[in-house]
Structure 1
Amino acid sequence: MRGQPTVLHLDMDAFYASVEQAAKPSLRGKPVIVGGLGPRGVVATASYEARRFGVHSAMPMAQARRLCPHAAFLVPRFQIYRAISETVMGLLAELSPLVEPLSLDEAFVDLAAGGTAASAEEARRTGERLRAAIREATGVTGSVGLAGSKMLAKIASEQAKPDGLVLIRPGTERELLAPMPVRTLPGVGPATAEVLRRAGITTVGETVQAGEAELLRLLGKAHGASLYLMARGVDERPVVADRDTKSVSVEDTFDVDVTDRARIRFEVAGLADRCTRRLRAAGRSGRTVVLKVRRYDFTTLTRSETLRGPTDDPEVVQEAARRLLEGVDTTEGVRLLGVGVSGLADFTQEDLFAQALQSSRAPEQPAAEPSPGGAPAPRPVPRTTDWLPGLDVTHERFGPGWVQGSGVGRVTIRFERPDSPPGRVRTFLVDDPELTGGEPLPLVERAAPPGGGSQADSVSSGPSRGTSRP
């Protein structure tokens, strides 16, 4: 254990929902719930206003609607979440070479490795500067925990929420942990907590009082010994930078069980294409293609095939996924499909079989032929399902906005920007030729540096050096 609180844990506050509130002035201070909006959707993040009604992450969306029917229910916009996450991770990298990202909105930082926390007060000042830099660079807030270990730093950041900082001084761990529920400790899930409850152990202090021998008897050697150390505040896990991704995968859950075999093949091909796009975006390739199928009765099957060499070719991944699908019975319905690639590498290996397969296929036909006389082809008519709540749009006359709702052939748009007052609402036909999909607007505008220069130039100075506009 460290003698100074040099482990920092950053956790962004209700990240997805906070980004949506920052991007949409009309939603600030109001309940916002982000997640899948279908009958089987789940909550990804709920704003603090929605949490007061009992809504929380991983809750079925149907239950969230019952608890908080007046909330704004939005689909996720991962493009902007990833951009803001990259900005935040860039700020963390300025503090230390040892940054361990856990997700888009959470990371550990070893301040000792960066020489930015020789004392508790210096660590506190570093944490406060970080919070201010994040707010300035992104327009959203994060909470910071500081302690002598990863476990305690994470507990501290939970206590700091929202938009705060808590520092746990080394030597105070046992007193702090004693009254906390045993579920506070890492590795204690519902099953472990139930075993301990039946033995009369519900708090961290009672876990220590039970003794190591009793925990070994209840939980086994490895788990019992680890839990005893954690309960006493002992956590020697280091901050590990550059955690290597072991696989890339995508999956979709269907609102209604899919039984049509042709539809299932089509969905698998689409998933394979999305998976390889992610591979290429990460500059990786992989050898093993994995198919995941969750059937009507919730049983989950996985099938895999290892290729002759690593690839990022969508044709190769699609063909492998199709072959795997042939060995799975889907006649009674499928709830979820997924395609992944593992065994990742930083290079690709030419596959002559894939090249032959691709060249043997007929060339694709144009999507639409020009009309007689050279006139442009008719514009495809959007479906109501193309306009999901929360998505960005642009109107030729009214400018940028976001979808507030759609149905019965119409779509309602609220026209506002992150830096504007709450905007006006207008309703259009879903096939309005002036209405198109838009791109996320930056939450924070950068002023140009003196003497001219681009906004991109200006972000290389000040507390947000090395970051980019989200």
Structure 2
Amino acid sequence: MGEFKILYCDMSAFFASVEQHMHPELRGRPVAITAVDANSGACVAASYEAKAFGVKTGTPVWEARRLCPGITLLPSRHRLYVRFNLKVGAILDQMAEVERIRSVDEFQIRLSGEATEEAGAFALVRAMKDRLAREIGPTIRFSAGIGPNHLLAKIAGKLEKPDGCQWLSPRNMPDRLAHLAIDDLPGISKGIKARLYAAHVWDIATLYRLDPRHARAIWRSVEGERFVRALQGADIPLVSTERHGYGNSKILSPSFRAVPQAYLVGRWLTEKAAARLRRDGRVSSRFGLSVQLMPQGIWSRSMKCEASQDSAYFLHLHRQLWIQLWRQLRTRTVLSVGVNLGDVSLLEERPGDLFAPLKPATPSAGERVSGVVDLINNRFGPGSIHYGVNRPHPGFFERG
């Protein structure tokens, strides 16, 4: 067994590359993908031709046009990008073991056999790139990172973009990263950076040589020790985190930004979050609503509630918070809506309620109705049955 265990594939300008694949006339030309439409908002992705002009994720549409007068702006098509993600993942998984799909454009692959050696890993990457170009198209490319663990492989994947391939291991660490700032590393937030600076850890070389137990004290968490051990080359597996909430948020297209329409989108988001809560056998005892207003301002409230997984109950709470908001809102325009079901626990651990009455770990009548709705929607398609009037708003800018 060689020194390498993980291959990290970071798709190159994935959304823009997919659009260039679908529109051959755009290949080799600057392209940016916008969150809502091609006339407002910000860019959520840009081709490398556009990046050469300074257009990047978060660049406002008006500024993108100023920086690159010949740019083509296209509204995002998230479902299309997901379909291409599945195509790419299927091909990669036939050639090696796709261990995790880290995001819509990132894949983590477990290496074995000859691919654990440097020559074998590079040969595997070349074969993967050739097959993607042949079976999907030449615009679909990725930068590869090879390492003894997921952290070093991910960092290596960022070193040569686009379409590159680099490796990291104790053989070339930390010198290979000497040109990077400490917060260029994934997982180093502003808060952690400030703590590291306070501990006189100014650069990656010093961080690399840090005693992992000292890192635990700086982070105030075992994650600091895990991070430094992984940076030093130890095979530290990713751990599943305990889920504390279920939420969805949506940046609204212009036709949904009036208050009545935004309210109906919020109802749709609430139903979606509650369905996911039931899918995992959990209940929530806190409901939250967040509304971003135009031109500026955020209204956010949450309330404690009975531990539940009943969609009708959460929709009632949703309405209560919108009534509070309406008194302050009236004629304002809504840019985004988000809902969150927090303080999550397992249904099987919920105590009974003598006054309801409700037996321990037993769904209420409303929760059983919600479960039947889930069964019908799973059988006949999402939204076949819903609770009153809502406004589905599918599209890219949805989180949760």
Residue 48 of structure 2 corresponds to 48
Query: Is 2:128 the partner of 1:133?
Result: no
Shift of 1:281: 9.5
Residue 34 of structure 1 corresponds to 33
- Cα distance per residue 1:411-446 (max 9 Å; x no partner): xxxxxxxxxxxxxxxxxxxxxxxxxxxxxxxxxxxx
The 1:302/1:109 distance shift into structure 2, 3 A limit, reads: farther
Which SS does the other structure have where 1:173 is aligned? coil
Question: Following the alignment from structure 2 to structure 1, what is the Cα–Cα distance between the partners of residues 224 and 87?
Answer: 40
Query: Is 2:266 the partner of 1:271?
Result: yes
Residue 318 of structure 2 corresponds to 321
Shift of 1:41: 2.1
The 1:3/1:242 distance shift into structure 2, 3 A limit, reads: farther
The 1:266/1:214 distance shift into structure 2, 3 A limit, reads: same
Shift of 1:93: 3.6
Question: Following the alignment from structure 2 to structure 1, what is the Cα–Cα distance between the partners of residues 94 and 292?
Answer: 43
The 1:325/1:77 distance shift into structure 2, 3 A limit, reads: same
Question: Following the alignment from structure 1 to structure 2, what is the Cα–Cα distance between the partners of residues 330 and 138?
Answer: 53
Query: Is 2:122 the partner of 1:124?
Result: yes
Residue 103 of structure 2 corresponds to 103
Gaps of 5+ in 2: 349-361, 374-386, 390-394, 396-400
Shift of 1:48: 0.2
Q: Contact 2:31–2:50 at 8 Å: present in 1 too?
A: yes
Residue 175 of structure 1 corresponds to 175
Q: TM-score, normalised by structure 2?
A: 0.69
- Cα distance per residue 1:335-393 (max 9 Å; x no partner): 4321345659999957449969x9xxxx999xxxxxxxxxxxxxxxxxxxxxx9xxxxx
Which SS does the other structure have where 1:294 is aligned? strand
Which one is further off, 26-35 or 162-171?
Answer: 162-171
Percent of matched pairs sharing the same residue:
22
Q: TM-score, normalised by structure 1?
A: 0.60
AA at the equivalent of 1:272: R
Q: Contact 1:99–1:240 at 8 Å: present in 2 too?
A: no
AA at the equivalent of 2:120: E
Residue 78 of structure 2 corresponds to 78
Structure with more of its chain in helix, by fraction: 2
Correspondence list, 1:30-429, <5 A: 30-36=29-35, 41-94=41-94, 99-112=99-112, 117-139=115-137, 140-193=140-193, 203-207=203-207, 229=229, 233-234=232-233, 236-239=235-238, 247-253=246-252, 263-274=258-269, 276=271, 284=279, 287-288=283-284, 289-294=287-292, 298-303=297-302, 309-311=308-310, 317-328=314-325, 331-332=328-329, 333=332, 334-341=334-341, 343=344, 351-352=365-366
Count of aligned residue pairs for this structure pair = 351
The 1:326/1:206 distance shift into structure 2, 3 A limit, reads: same
AA at the equivalent of 1:172: N
Gaps of 5+ in 1: 366-387, 389-470
Shift of 1:80: 0.6
Question: Following the alignment from structure 1 to structure 2, what is the Cα–Cα distance between the partners of residues 280 and 364?
Answer: 16
The 1:173/1:227 distance shift into structure 2, 3 A limit, reads: same
Q: Contact 2:147–2:167 at 8 Å: present in 1 too?
A: yes
Question: Following the alignment from structure 2 to structure 1, what is the Cα–Cα distance between the partners of residues 212 and 42?
Answer: 39
The 1:125/1:283 distance shift into structure 2, 3 A limit, reads: farther
CA RMSD of aligned residues (A): 4.6
Shift of 1:8: 0.9
Which SS does the other structure have where 1:57 is aligned? coil
Shift of 1:53: 1.2
Shift of 1:148: 0.8
Question: Following the alignment from structure 2 to structure 1, what is the Cα–Cα distance between the partners of residues 243 and 125?
Answer: 27
Q: Contact 2:269–2:338 at 8 Å: present in 1 too?
A: no
AA at the equivalent of 2:127: R
Q: Contact 2:157–2:166 at 8 Å: present in 1 too?
A: yes
Shift of 1:73: 1.2
Shift of 1:282: 11
AA at the equivalent of 1:117: A
Which SS does the other structure have where 1:134 is aligned? helix
Indicate the structure (1 or 2) with the bigger Cα radius of gyration.
1
Shift of 1:217: 8.8
Question: Following the alignment from structure 1 to structure 2, what is the Cα–Cα distance between the partners of residues 57 and 198?
Answer: 31
Which SS does the other structure have where 1:30 is aligned? coil
